[in-house]
Structure 1
Amino acid sequence: MKSSTALGLVLGLEAAPAMADMEAAKKFLDEEIGDVTTLPREDQEAEMQWFIDAAEPFKGMEINVVSETITTHEYESQVLAPAFTAITGIKVTHDLIGEGDVVEKLQTQMQSGENIYDAYVNDSDLIGTHIRYGQVRNLTDWMAGEGADVTSPTLDLEDFIGTQFTTSPDGKLYQLPDQQFANLYWFRYDWFNDPQNMADFKEEYGYDLGVPVNWSAYEDIAEFFTGRTIDGVEVYGNMDYGKKDPSLGWRYTDAWMSMAGMGDKGEPNGLPVDEWGIRVNEQSQPVGACMARGGATNSPAAVYAVNKAVEWLQKYAPPAAAGMTFSEAGPVPAQGNIAQQMFMYTTFVAPLVDSDAVMNEDGTPKWRLAPSPHGVYWEEGMKVGYQDVGSWTLMNSTPEDRAKAAWLYAQFVTSKTVDVKKADVGLTFIRDSTINSDHFSERKDKLGGLVEFYRSPARTQWSPTGTNVPDYPKLAQLWWQNIGDAMSGAKTSQEALDQLCADMEKVMERLERAGVQGDLGPVLNEEQDASYWLEQPGAPKPKLENEDEEPETIGYDELVSSWNQ
């Protein structure tokens, strides 16, 4: 860490006279930040003074930014935006809307050229879209060029843990991480370690109750707990959601298919076939999604993945779950009647720690987080899970002065001064310094393995959607519309996936004809019999004669230690 004197010199500050804006900054530091930060007070004030000075040309400007509604962004909108306004004189309206609505607004701005928002926090899942359409400011060049005067010398990009996911293949940064959370397995540690439950499970299934390594073990555990009464509560062995809603698409594209084993080996995403089932050629051009073109979206592994999700939802989840969305289902484990969940977006850890039903009196959790188990088609070296990286994005259609003002706000809410406190509220880590701070060393025992996961090398194996997806907004909507038919029973999984991959290829065909994505645009393979591709190494993979593998579990403590190996 730089000394406060050195930091002041880096920021170009001398003995500047006290200003009214600095008084607002000191009030913010006193009342909101306190000692929940990695910076000493002198460095905090120096960082705030830089924002004050850099914002001077934009005082009085009103800007609008948008993000999805999660705890982290609620804190930004309700606390950090007013603080930034008071400190800099730039009035920020930080709107909170559904994630699907964020993508829709961004898509509308791309298509119309109208400046709807001055900055977006959108998932790095859109990186493939951003690099192909050329409608987003390349931050690497922006920070060195027109945005140089509003780029903080203490931004410290190397401290961010998610920039590998917001960087294009040519090494250019397109988005600045603002919040990051993974999908991890969640389970009731207290129930799994209850001697009677352990004995009953061992007698019934012939192996130890523990963290499931594969889907066969998850299914046994779901069956074991469903219908049991524990502490006077009827228990369910699985939690999920199934409403035909945009969030149902994320349920599958957020690495469910990869966890089943649908795609190819490769980190952070399978190549040449990724977790959406899209195949690319050596030039990173999408060539197909259906098996007839070498894709895997309608492959046996994909059908297996959807079948299992539907089966478990019907058999082992609360009846209401089938009609729930992502945001409705997320808080349910906090109610105390769920034994395990295949993958939990860790953004929902924040409400968990506020629930008496799943927390002990001493503030430690009754639950733990662990890597999600994998399906029968999964192989070592494949992607093991999803990680969301909600990131600041500046559109080319935003006027320069408004983009600069918004860039200042984006840096403020991700600055080292505020990042530990923001992470303390939302538990969505973006900085290495925050993860390894003394504050989270003290708090980690109350977060059920979340800090241990983010401190381990394993965190890099969980990744967002990669660059195979050429147009996230157009393709993502096809998933929930088609998968919803399988979840409702209107179609079989095979029928729904056949339609899904065909719909995806129609979009890619239009992109290919339009030629709007340059050298990275789709160039679809000629169709041929699926048997040709099923005989090739990797994805798509032929159907296994037996999709019920030998169940395997592991002790939680042994598993956590493996994260660091």
Structure 2
Amino acid sequence: MFDKNNKLRHSISLAAVLALSGLSATAWADAYEDAAKKWIGSEFKPSTLTEAQQLEELKWFIKAAEPFRGMKINVVSETLTTHEYESKVLAKAFSEITGIKLTHDLLQEGDVVEKLQTQMQSDKNIYDGWVNDSDLIGTHFRYGKTESITDLMANEGKDFTSPTLDIKDFIGISFTTAPDGKVYQLPDQQFANLYWFRADWFERPELKAKFKEKYGYDLGVPVNWSAYEDIAKFFSEDVKEIDGKRVYGHMDYGKKDPSLGWRFTDAWFSMAGGGDKGLPNGLPVDEWGIRVEDCHPVGSSVTRGGDTNGPAAVFATQKYVDWMKAYAPPEAAGMTFSESGPVP
């Protein structure tokens, strides 16, 4: 997301950069191309493109960046492993290949949202670009404080839009497209609901036989809630110990924390069917159980067409409580998302 009030600006002209450096434009171009070759050879692989195709694409970036060399751009995202890579590796590569000084800060999710809110309300620039949740698409659309990527690419950013950019190729582009049909964010990374399990435990003959005898079906990745509960109960109550260590069949977290909120909205409610069926969901009820009309939240309770207190949400919340108490390690109740993740 780009700040609408901080469009492409020159902090220092190309001529000044060249004068200060004493290098010719050709020498600068060669230096940036050498940087591109270095990154292609050391980091940008494997790739669907050949090295020649990669270099050709990066040559376009080098050329397009000429008017902005020496400019400083500041972007921010929450602290996730994906964004740490962007901050430590990709930002450095971009700076070396284009000559534009890119700084990518990492903050906690709540701090990112707070600073974003401050910038929108004060119109004072804090960051030039933001990597924030696509859940904010409604905010960006309604407030009019965000530069539409669609408009940017069609107008002042036209000459600086990569000819190889394929918007339709982005997974999740529907979630970053507002009701006006314009794209306000490009999907960067996505969460998936995963089932983590010890495959070596699931392959132990004695455990497989014991599970089959008790439940009547093979021990394996569960395909529904009842199978998940069977496995959680089996390891927590029947197996109890493996190789001299106490084991559990379930892991979660329960400490009061912002992460606990989206534990329900992003995972439990959606897995229980809190949102409308089909892709994308959210038309009109999203996975949080909130009903939306024209990108505006208009009701969350069942009486107002929402589902936050509907059967799916109630079922999911009860299972969360029951499984935490019965099948998870006792310390899980006092953990946050960041603390519980490394445990499995």
Normalised to the residue count of structure 2, the TM-score between the two structures is 0.85
Q: Choose which of 14, 19, 23 in structure 1 pairs with 2:34.
A: 23
Q: Does 1:250 align with 2:262?
A: yes
Question: 1:322 matched to which residue of 2?
Answer: 333
Aligned to 2:312: 301
Deviations 1:251-270 (A, max 9, x none): 01104213223344333215
Q: Distance in 1 between matches of 2:303 and 2:267?
A: 22
Query: Cα RMSD over matched residues?
Result: 2.2
Verify: 1:269 aligned to 2:281, yes or no: yes
**1:220-369 alignment, distance < 5 Å:** 220-226=230-236, 228-281=240-293, 285-333=296-344
Query: Secondary structure of the residue that 1:296 maps to in structure 2?
Result: coil
Q: Deviations over 1:192-246 (max 9, x none)?
A: 2322112211222333322222212211210110152223332111111111111
**TM-aligned CA deviation for residue 66 of structure 1:** 0.7
Distance 1:83 1:273 in 2: 41
**TM-score normalised to structure 1 length:** 0.53
Q: Which amino acid aligns with 1:21?
A: Y
Tell me which of 104, 124, 130 is aligned to 1:120.
130
Equivalent-residue separation in structure 2 for 1:280 and 1:91 (angstroms): 40
- Indicate how the Cα distance of structure 1 residues 301 and 187 shifts in structure 2: closer, same or farther if over 3 A, else same: same
Q: Deviations over 1:26-73 (max 9, x none)?
A: 22223333x422222222222222112211221112221111222221
Q: Secondary structure at the match of 2:288?
A: coil
- CA distance in 1: counterparts of 2:169 and 2:72, whole angstroms: 30
| Letter aligned with residue 336 of structure 2 | T
SS in 2 for 1:200: helix
Query: Closer, same or farther in 2 for the Cα pair 1:107/1:285, shift >3 Å?
Result: closer
The equivalences for 1:137-536 within 5 A come to 137-226=147-236, 228-281=240-293, 285-333=296-344
Could you say what secondary structure the match of 2:190 adopts? strand
Q: Distance in 1 between the 2:343 and 2:83 partners?
A: 21
Question: In the alignment, is the contact (CA less than 8 A) between 2:178 and 2:295 conserved in 1?
Answer: no
Q: How far apart, CA to CA, are the structure 2 residues paired with 1:258 and 1:26?
A: 44
Q: What is the Cα deviation at residue 299 of structure 1?
A: 2.8
1:312-369 superposed Cα distances (whole Å, 9 cap, x missing partner): 1122112221122212212211xxxxxxxxxxxxxxxxxxxxxxxxxxxxxxxxxxxx
Counterpart CA distance in 1 for 2:207 and 2:73 is 56
The alpha-carbon distance between structure 1 residues 113 and 185, as it changes in their structure 2 partners (threshold 3 A), is same
Letter in 1 for 2:252: D
Separation of aligned partners in 2, 1:304 and 1:293: 20
1:230–1:101 CA distance, 2 compared to 1 (3 A): same
Q: What is the identity, as a one-letter code, of the residue corresponding to 1:125?
A: D
Q: Would you say the 8 A contact 2:269–2:316 is kept in 1?
A: yes
Q: CA separation of 1:292/1:180 partners in 2, compared to 1, >3 Å: closer, same or farther?
A: closer
Q: Which deviations, in whole Å up to 9, do the C-alpha atoms of 1:389-445 show, x marking residues without a partner?
A: xxxxxxxxxxxxxxxxxxxxxxxxxxxxxxxxxxxxxxxxxxxxxxxxxxxxxxxxx
How many residue pairs match? The answer is 317
User: 1:250 is paired with a residue of what secondary structure?
Assistant: helix
Alpha-carbon offset, residue 121 of structure 1 = 0.9
Question: Measured at CA, do residues 32 and 273 of structure 1 come closer, stay the same or move farther in structure 2, by a change above 3 Å?
Answer: closer
Output the CA distance in 2 between the equivalents of 1:79 and 1:157: 24
C-alpha separation between the residues in 2 aligned to 1:139 and 1:95?
22
Any gaps of 5 or more consecutive residues in structure 1?
A: 1-14, 334-565
| Contact kept? 2:282, 2:292, Cα under 8 Å | no
Mapped partners of 2:244, 2:210: distance in 1: 18
> Contact 2:202 / 2:219 at 8 angstroms: preserved in 1?
yes
Q: Is the 8 A contact 2:174 2:280 kept in 1?
A: no
